[in-house]
Amino acid sequence: MARLVIVSNRVPIPKSRGATAGGLAVALRDLLIPGSMWFGWSGRLAAEPASQPSLVEARGVTYATVDLTAEAHRSFYIGFANGALWPLLHFRLGLMHFRREDYAGYLAVNESFAASLGQVVKSDDTVWVHDYHVIPFGRMLREQGFAGPLGFFLHVPFVPPSVLEAMPVARDLVADLCAYDVVGFQTEEHARDFRDCAQRMLGATVDGEWIRLNGRRMRVFADPIGIDAEGFARDAGRAANDKLVQRVAGSLAGRALIVGVDRMDYSKGLPQRFEAFGRLLEKHPEHRRRIHFLQICPRSREEVDEYRKLRIDLDRLAGRINGKFSEFDWTPLRYSARAAPRMTLAGLYRLGRIGVVTPLRDGMNLVAKEFIAAQPDEDPGVLVLSRFAGAAHELTEALVVNPFDPDAIADAMHLALTMPAGERKERHAALKAKVFLTTAQVYCRRFLDALAARSLVQAAA
């Protein structure tokens, strides 16, 4: 079999200091068999970038990493990837800060990544590139002489041409994505938007999932990412013995738990969610003293101004809600900016009567699927889900809401709290079947099968 090489911005080396198993690492876990490779940034800043990647082997997998200089990190990661691309792809044009020098730094880092991998990649490798940080990487790896199968998957949303055109280098980004053999998106809507961009900006010919441009054919399709549903369900059951889960369960004193878990990011709709909880307590006073809302939102990208402002806004909203509604023996909203271990999260989901997943825009949002997998069949909770999360295209039995409408979220919370057990079980059974069908393993296999099929077509041609 050909070796699989995964490329992403960060490389999660097992047991390395400060490394955590993020969503991508968990999703791709089954692919990390002995002989495979994961390439990307080490997470370290250095005075001078190394000329060759650093290689570490763990459990038979090679982790190839490169350091970045502080200036390269600032322009590539903070400046363009998260200051321009992230808000653009989440429909937040007012937060997009484009600077030509940041884009130049973005291209330079991708060029250095391609040059570094070019030193260790083999001609018969299969290369799978992940996410918006490394869009130009594929074209640049081709320029290094790599001719093997080359795929790309975008984990965040994509936007229609009318939005993408706000980015001054939009045409270049679309052309770079067209350099891959296969490009995958979370939903058919995102895939269709990209095909429309290729047709409108580059004059490409579109035929179903296929794009023809400059004599090449590439496939663009939807491949929704999933989770290890069986494993997560087992973790949720075992987490009953987790000390933190036990403390939270004991502190509820029989009250219902509303739980939300998100990175502290302006795309997650956290201020609207907090406001919705306040509206619930105001409009439905019968729920006071009978519920707790636990929001876990670990801090991220604090070097970006918008994220620091978000933290201040959430502190203010939490204080206002607790100041207005709390009593001597009841604090309605608990809000923590500290990360929790995966096992603990599974146990907290299992405790939840309501899971609140209300991003303003999201590629998929695996928290929604984890909440479903963690729920007990005999007494399941209810998922309140944003219509603008990719998961809403699959999880239609959730209570789907407009995340920009706090009153709609509050009404859905009330409906979930008063929903009869029979309806909760019926909805959960349908949602669980979907989560256990479209798993992480299915996601990986479908993409690699598409990439293998495309490679066979090219070889035959």
Q: Which residues make Cβ contacts (< 8 Å) with residue 41, sequence separation at least 6?
A: 9, 10, 11, 65, 66, 67, 68, 113
Strand pairing report for 205-207 and 210-213: antiparallel
> What does the block give as tokens for 209?
């999932």
Which among 260, 262, 299 has a CA at the least distance from the CA of 276? 260
C-alpha atoms less than 13 angstroms from C-alpha of 375 in its C-beta half-sphere: 31
C-alpha atoms less than 13 angstroms from C-alpha of 40 in its C-beta half-sphere: 20
Torsion, CA 227, CA 229, CA 231, CA 232, rounded to 10: 80
The length of the chain in residues reads: 461
Under 8 Å between Cβ of 8 and 63: no
Query: Residue 362 catalytic?
Result: yes
207 to 197, 212, 377, 457, 458: CA distances (angstroms): 14, 8, 44, 16, 17
Which among 177, 216, 186 has a CA at the least distance from the CA of 446? 186
Which one is catalytic: 130, 133, 155, 428?
Answer: 155
Neighbours of 26 (CB within 10 A): 18
Which one is catalytic: 193, 228, 362, 411?
Answer: 362
Under 8 Å between Cβ of 354 and 256: yes
Point out the residues that are catalytic.
Answer: 155, 362
